[in-house]
C-alpha cells in the first residue's frame, strides 16, 4: 500500500499544479500536510476498523468543503481571509483537493477505502485494467457490478500499520512495527519527481520575492 510519503508526494504535485501564480512555500505546505491527514487514522486503534475509515471517508472532505463554503459566504466576512489573507480560501480549497487526490485516492485504487463511513460501512477498491485487444476489443475490469461476498466492513477488515501491526491480536509475541517509506520503484520515482518539482517552484518563488 502507498506510504504516507507517497501520499504527500502526490499532494505536492496536485497543490503545485493548482496553485499556479498563487504558489508559495506556505501555500504548498497546506497541500502537503493535507495529503498526509487521512493516514492519521492509523493511530485511531481504539476504533474497530478505524484505519481507512475514520479519515478516509469522502464525508470528511465533504464536511471541510461545506465549512469552507460557509466561511467564504459569511455576510460579516471570511475569517480565513481576515486571518491569513485574501488567497486563504483558495489555498484551503486546494488543500482539500490534495487531501482527496493525494490522501484518499491512492488507497482507494490499491487496497480499499471505507468511502461512506459511518453512513455506510463497506470498503471499496477501484483496481483493474483497461486494454485494447485485436480479438476482444476494449477490455476493462475496473467496473464490476457483481456484489462482493462477504462485503468488507469494519467488522471483518483490518489493515496492518506501523501503529497497529497486529490489528487482530493474533499473537502474544512482540510484532515488528514497520512504517513504510517507499515500497516499489514507481513510488520512489514519484517521490523524487514531486520533490524536484515542488523544490524547483519553491526556489523560483523565493527568488521572485
Among 128, 114, 121, smallest CA distance to 55 is for: 114
pLDDT average, residue stretch 21-32: 96
Answer yes or no: is pLDDT of 112 > 70.
Answer: yes
The cell for 95 is 488543500
**Spatial CB neighbours of 91, under 8 Å, sequence gap ≥ 6:** 19, 22, 27, 30, 84
β-partners of residue 139 are 131
Q: Mind listing the pLDDT tens digit for each residue in 114-134?
A: 999 999 999 999 988 999 999
- Averaged over 13-41, what is the pLDDT? 97
**How do residues 176-195 score in pLDDT, each as one tens digit?**
999 999 999 999 999 999 99
CA torsion 22→108→190→35, rounded to 10°?
A: 40
pLDDT, tens digit, for every residue of 125-173?
Answer: 998 899 999 999 999 988 776 666 788 999 999 999 998 888 888 887 8
- The overall average pLDDT reported for the chain is 93
What is the mean pLDDT of the segment spanning 15-27? 96
Average pLDDT over residues 69-97: 93
- The pLDDT of residue 145: 64
- Structure confidence at residue 133 (pLDDT): 94
* Domain residue spans of the chain: 4-169+180-208
Specify whether the CB–CB gap between 94 and 18 falls below 8 A.
yes
Could you list the beta-strand ranges (E) of the chain: 130-133, 137-140
Q: What angle do CA 99, 194, 18 make, to 5 degrees?
A: 50
Residue 67 backbone dihedrals phi, psi, to 5 degrees: -65, -40
| CA distance between the termini of the chain | 39
Amino acid at each position: 500500500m502507498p506510504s504516507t510519503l507517497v501520499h504527500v508526494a502526490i499532494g505536492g504535485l496536485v497543490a503545485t499544479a493548482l496553485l499556479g501564480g498563487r504558489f508559495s512555500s506556505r501555500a504548498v505546505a497546506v497541500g502537503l500536510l493535507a495529503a498526509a491527514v487521512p493516514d492519521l487514522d492509523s493511530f485511531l486503534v481504539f476504533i474497530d476498523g478505524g484505519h481507512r475509515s475514520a479519515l478516509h471517508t469522502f464525508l470528511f472532505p465533504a464536511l471541510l468543503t461545506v465549512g469552507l463554503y460557509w466561511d467564504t459566504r459569511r455576510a460579516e466576512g471570511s475569517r480565513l481571509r481576515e486571518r491569513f489573507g485574501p488567497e486563504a480560501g483558495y489555498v484551503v480549497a486546494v488543500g482539500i483537493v490534495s487531501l482527496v487526490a493525494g490522501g484518499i485516492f491512492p488507497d482507494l485504487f490499491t487496497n480499499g477505502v471505507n468511502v461512506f463511513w459511518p453512513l455506510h460501512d463497506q470498503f471499496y477498491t477501484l483496481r483493474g485494467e483497461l486494454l485494447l485487444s485485436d480479438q476482444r476489443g476494449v477490455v476493462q475490469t475496473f467496473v464490476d457490478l457483481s456484489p462482493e461476498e462477504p462485503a468488507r466492513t469494519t467488522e471483518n477488515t483490518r489493515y496492518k500499520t506501523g501503529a497497529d501491526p497486529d490489528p487482530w491480536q493474533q499473537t502474544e509475541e512482540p510484532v515488528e512495527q514497520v512504517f513504510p517509506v517507499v515500497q516499489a520503484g514507481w513510488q520512489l520515482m514519484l517521490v523524487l519527481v514531486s520533490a524536484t518539482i515542488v523544490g524547483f517552484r519553491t526556489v523560483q518563488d523565493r527568488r521572485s520575492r
